Structure 1
């Protein structure tokens, strides 16, 4: 199936490229606007209804016909001269707010984008105890992550500043979409720099490795086309199934596709270069077909492991995971299709021009770094295995005592944060982000304020609660809402501990008889998210591990090899988490690492890092199928595969490392880059080959290899490659244009008798094999 797909793509190469270009450009145009329409920025909406904060949101929607608004902005209004507010000032503030609530903000949406034109809603709030300012609430409808709504907010903000300035006041905005927009504006230059550095790194590495222009540019063009199709596929599926996705999905799709598409293109290009070097007269289309046919199985298996890891999130209870996993899985399937069709077609079209203007690639350097590394690992595998395990253990020790933190670190100082600080100096810190207790009757009874005095009074006495507002009843008096303002900022661990402990305890003890009460708000929602995430990770990790192991078993047709790879990946995960914990929790003295870090490392380090192990294992099996000693096969596998893995790992690690330029993403950028480097440079190139050199062909147990070249036996006289009968044969070959080439000393050509004088790693070419080294005895 895979060979037929790649053969079709290379045979109809121009048609394949044109179809991808048309579909990719079309879906790029409609994909992002469509994605915005299916995005939900309210974290509470993703919680199962059994959680306390989610139950409170249900009461708000059912009894008050309102939904906690993640876009709600707190507006501070103060006199421009710094004096305290007087009686006339309050009237001016209210009148100006009413005037602003009557002015419609018009948006100018781009093609296919949603029109967010609307009239802002201003609500007059409390006055500071010292009389220096009054608070308002500004509400806008829409997705805060959509650039269209962000532009509408900017217009509303500027209009409010103008009108209040004319009335003699100054204003400040914080919370909701105000904080989102200010953070984006503050980080805009940094993000542009990070994007430029990432693209520059990919281009630079490809230029250095391949000395080619096309090899540097084509992967990025492929990513753009495949990314457009993937975004359209995810957004279209969500629209069709009426599913809401988290705002982080589009950016994660971009990062994932950038990593795996570039990686797979590099895997193909290294093998394509090897194919052209070995058969200098081969037609470029046939070389591309042979390359894709050989590497296609490994790429397919690697992609399916990522799909399995992400798709497993579909069984999570937390909605963001449940939606994120399948969305990324769909994107990876699109990337796999592109890797088996678009990328081989590009190779078939460019051929040797892919490596222009370089010429040195036509002759392989037998004594390069990868070759020497392969020789050393095959000669002293125990030493390299022990060294790798010591390094992984040292890093993994940092994970002892790891704690999860839900605090926001590294956020830039903006007008929104300065406004919030000014408010907190006079009012409880939670005023700009209040929590709300919703109470409803169970059997159709009625509520009154007197029945709620016990609850409000008890909440007001809780240490850490700054203020409790009077209850507000719904029209039929079957429910009430009570605003609670914490003394701590809502996005801190202190606030979450306060909510999960004394506040919810007080609510449970003082809820009026015949009613139920629940609390929602930022701290309440994230406290419930923490509980849901902890449960989900205990379920997702083992299920995903089983699925990945099953896929490895189907590819490698072995029980022992998948176990070795899974153990290696597990060690890499623990070492990466330990490195992140040492730096951010211990060295920087933070309360813990971000609660999303274990999941991010699992998705990117385990799933993407497994790609490198699969590529190495596939080449190890291919080399061990040849009639050569097992350790020589290990040396050859490292020599041919290490450059591709190292380059791909540097590209992907560099992409994540660039995230460290932003303080808000420094933790994820650092830890993920370390994990990718460990997966590529240590696990795949050193640890797995050293284990293979120790176990020999026993690595593939219970699969039986060629018995004639096991330990203690001499090499057979014929080379019987598993793909020999499937090698493409064209008319020029049959006519003798470039039939079976003479043996070059690099590797046996399919169907050609094995030459006993093939050099052992480190042995000069032409020296009879076995005079210097015994096949089963370490050399050097």
Structure 2
């Protein structure tokens, strides 16, 4: 199957290239519009109904008419001189709220972007007075917008509304401040706009520069980016199509994560092909370029397929998760990687066949026999002192893994350390009102028999909730329109997204609700803090399921690829050590050095899947080449040294490219931990595990690594003739020792 795909692509390169170009361009244009139909931003929507906060969210929508797509912004209005609001000021604020609530806000669209390709988020915000500070120094307005805060169109609408409101109240001598999740995100995005732009430029320059240094070629530097862009467009279309057909919703951050993954692995796979293609052409200067492309693509395609399937298998296991954000993200990435695999087996071989030897123009490297360089010396170092190299690597990994001692999970973003204008507004509000005034914790009560409720029946519950230490204020009990449900809003003194608020909700508030709920009724606790408290429980459950299942599937794929019982164990132990070291390093930096509450709750699972699955790519490439070299009639250590000589440039370059891709996530607000951990994890996987640990173990174990089917050296003349045609060895290569340079397999 693999050779059939690569063979067709190399025989008909221009047809394959044209097909991918059309699909990539068309789907890239349609995806932004379609993606909005399959994304949702409410974290609570990703929890099963069995969790308290998810049940509360359902009641809020069903009984109280809350819009599931609503995004709330709190507006603070105060006098410029800092004095308490006068009666005239309050009237102006009320009148301003009415006027702003009647204005339609048109979503801004960039001039170079066709409007029909952009989902229109234009809308009329609902603006209403909320409360006034006890000292009368400011009033709060509640603004309701529709759409996900991560939607760039919604962000544009908010910016327009914010500027209009600021100008409107400024005419009356009033200043404004804006806070809430959307306001915080927009302020952070704007503050990081330059860094995001520069980061994107830098990663592009990094990829091109590394390719130029590796190949001294124009096409080899540019084609990887073009190819991955086309395949990425098709992959995004496939993800959207799968989501529409299955009815699953994606987290708003999933598309961006998919883009980074595809950029990294796509360029990795093309680099694997390019390095092997150049090596092949050097050894066969008279062979037809298309024939060479077919042979190389078929050979490397097997390793690429196995590497991609490990990623697919790992992320597919997220379909077993109870937390919907994981359950939708995993299959989405798996679908995207499958499309990238298809592109790697068709478009990329087609590009090799179409370009031929011009792929490496203007470099003259194809016309000369390479001499032993740094890669060869590195291979001799690893195989000459395998115990020393293994011990040094183990010491490094162990030191980083020490950070796992006392590691804590952080299930929300506490904005207390933020320096944005939204955070400053939130701090101003919290000085006179409870921090949760703009994002209350709500207790919903329903009668078990479906009968109607009365406020008097819930008086004892409301009083008990008000007496909970940490609850600053409670609102009067509100009944639903059919009087079959009631809501009691609580305003905690802690930031709703802080660990303190989550501990308050999961402990004292839920305990008080359970003890004081009237007989014959059921109470559930909802709100941001309650959602994240339940997410913590769901994630803990999912980690215990996904980790072993993903590890088992990856091991099975390695067994099938390597046809060995010992080699898969060695590779899995290596990537496991890399995972522990990476997570420990993240804890050391963010939790210990920077004093953050802990590591992001998604980090262990996402890191496990990325580092184990993507890191296994490099291990597969090096292990596959080591086994191939061990079929030559030479010593095991010489075979490992030769494998390192040929694969070190490819693995090192690919690792740096993928690490650079993940590093750009640091410019995305709230992604610093994931950016750091995945960048470090890929670097450890490529430069330490794949190039040192696995080869050192192979040098120590020799052909026993492939037990029970050890790759015995080929000796008979007929087999020697076959393998010489497939993989000739040039004299003076500097890989085999004295007297071995001219030995063929």
Q: Same fold (TM over 0.5)?
A: yes
Tell me which residue corresponds to 2:47. Answer: 47
Aligned with 1:195 (options 191, 200, 208): 200
Match of 1:287 among 285, 289, 292: 292
Alignment of 1:754-773 (within 5 A): 761-763=736-738
How far the C-alpha of 1:579 sits from its partner, in A, is 1.5
Q: Displacement, 1:660?
A: 3.9
Sort the Cα spacing of 1:719 and 1:627 in 2 relative to 1 into closer, same or farther, 3 A: farther
Q: Secondary structure at the match of 1:72?
A: strand
Match of residue 305 from structure 1: 310
Residue 112 of structure 2 is matched in structure 1 by none
Q: How far apart in 1 are the matches of 2:106 and 2:685?
A: 51
Structure 1 residues 691 and 766 mapped into 2: Cα distance closer, same or farther (>3 Å)? closer
Give the equivalent residue in structure 2 for 1:81: 81
Q: 1:377 aligns with which of 369, 372, 382?
A: 382
Report how far residue 419 of structure 1 moved.
1.2
Paired position in structure 1 for 2:634: 628
Structure 1 position 343 matched with structure 2 position 329 = no
Q: TM-score, normalised by structure 1?
A: 0.91
Q: Which moved further from structure 2: 483-492 or 239-248? A: 239-248
Partner in structure 2 of residue 460 of structure 1: 466
Structure 1 CA distance for aligned equivalents of residues 101 and 605 of structure 2 = 43
CA distance 1:179–1:591, change in 2 (3 Å): closer
Residue aligning to 2:359: 354
Q: 1:473 is matched with which residue?
A: 479
Query: What is the distance in 2 between the residues matched to 1:132 and 1:351?
Result: 74
Residue 447 (structure 1) aligns with = 453
Partner of 1:2: 2
Contact 2:108 2:156 in 1 (8 A): no
Tell me the distance in 1 between the aligned counterparts of 2:587 and 2:511: 32
Q: CA deviation digits over 1:296-320, x for unaligned, max 9?
A: 0000000000000111101100000
Residue 333 of structure 1: how far off its partner (Å): 0.4
- Pair 1:141 & 2:146 matched: yes
- Distance in 2 (CA, whole Å) between partners of 1:236 and 1:659 is 26
Equivalence for 2:570: 564
Of 232, 235, 246, the residue aligned with 1:227 is 232
Segment of structure 1 superposing worse, 159-168 or 419-428: 159-168
Conserved 8 A contact 2:131-2:140: yes
Q: 2:323 aligns with which of 318, 322, 325?
A: 318
Q: Is residue 414–residue 498 contact of structure 2 (8 Å, CA) maintained in 1?
A: no
Residue 644 (structure 1) shift: 0.5
Equivalent pairs counted in the alignment come to 739
Q: Deviations over 1:642-687 (max 9, x none)?
A: 1100111111112223444567333222222211111111111111
Shift of 1:326: 0.4
Distance 1:221 1:768 in 2: 40
CA gap 1:446/1:721 in 2 versus in 1, 3 angstroms: farther
Q: Distance in 2 between matches of 1:323 and 1:595?
A: 17
For residue 71 of structure 1, give the secondary structure of its aligned residue in structure 2.
strand
Q: Is structure 2 residue 246 aligned with structure 1 residue 241?
A: yes
Distance 1:117 1:143 in 2: 13
Deviation per CA, 1:200-247, whole angstroms, max 9, x where unpaired?
A: 111111111111111111111111111111111111221222221101
Q: 1:424 aligns with which of 413, 430, 443?
A: 430
Q: 8 Å contact 2:267–2:654 — kept in the other structure?
A: yes
**Aligned partners of 1:267 and 1:295 also within 8 Å:** yes
Q: Which runs of 5+ in 1 are unaligned?
A: 710-714, 728-739, 748-758, 770-774, 776-780
Q: Structure 1 residues 131 and 561 mapped into 2: Cα distance closer, same or farther (>3 Å)?
A: same
Taking the aligned partners of 1:164 and 1:317, their CA distance within structure 2 comes to 47
For structure 2, which runs of at least 5 residues remain unmatched after alignment?
Answer: 110-114
Between the aligned partners of 2:548 and 2:618, the Cα distance in structure 1 is 21
- In structure 1, the partner of 2:260 is 255
- 1:78 & 1:524 partners in 2: Cα distance? 32
**Cα distance in structure 2, aligned partners of 1:745 and 1:232:** 50
Q: 1:416 to 1:299 in 2, by over 3 A?
A: same
Asked if 1:57 corresponds to 2:43, the answer is no
* Bigger radius of gyration among the two: 1
Distance in 1 between the 2:687 and 2:213 partners? 18
After superposition, what is the alpha-carbon deviation per residue over 1:545-597, rounded to whole angstroms, capped at 9, x for unaligned?
Answer: 00001111111111111111111111111111111122222222333222122
Mapping of residues 15-34 of structure 1, within 5 Å:
15-34=15-34
Cα drift, residue 412 of structure 1: 5.1
Aligned partner of 1:712 in structure 2 is none
- The answer to whether residue 379 in structure 2 is matched with residue 398 in structure 1 is no
Q: Secondary structure at the match of 2:40?
A: coil
Render the CA deviation track for 1:87-129: whole Å, top value 9, x for unaligned: 3333332222122222222346622333223221112111100
Question: C-alpha root-mean-square deviation of aligned residues, in Å?
Answer: 2.3
SS at match of 1:23: helix
Structure 2 counterpart of 1:592: 598
Preserved CA contact (<8 Å) 2:108 2:157 = no
TM-superposed deviation, 1:137: 0.7
Query: In 1, Cα distance between the equivalents of 2:414 and 2:723?
Result: 53
What SS is found at the alignment partner of 2:443? strand
Please report how far the alpha carbon of residue 520 of structure 1 lies from its aligned counterpart in structure 2 after TM superposition: 1.2
- What residue in structure 2 maps to residue 484 of structure 1? 490
Select the residue among 648, 657, 668 that pairs with 2:663. Answer: 657
Q: Take 1:766 and 1:294, find their aligned partners in 2: how far apart are those partners?
A: 24
What is the CA-CA distance between 1:514 and the residue it aligns to?
1.3
**Native 8 Å contact 2:496 2:502 kept in 1:** yes
Aligned to 1:105: 105
**TM-score (normalised: structure 2):** 0.95
Residues 148, 154 of structure 2: 8 Å contact kept: yes
Q: Deviations over 1:240-271 (max 9, x none)?
A: 22221101111111110011001001100000
Q: Note the C-alpha offset of 1:760.
A: 6.2
Q: Is the 8 A contact 2:70 2:147 kept in 1?
A: no
* Aligned counterparts, 1:546-695, within 5 A: 546-660=552-666, 664-695=670-701
Partner of 1:204: 209
Distance verdict in 2 for CA 1:126–1:638, change over 3 Å: same
The CA deviation at 1:407 is 4.2
The DSSP-based 3-state class of the residue aligned with 2:250 is: coil
Answer whether contact 1:378 1:631 (CA < 8 A) is retained: yes
- 1:438 corresponds to: 444
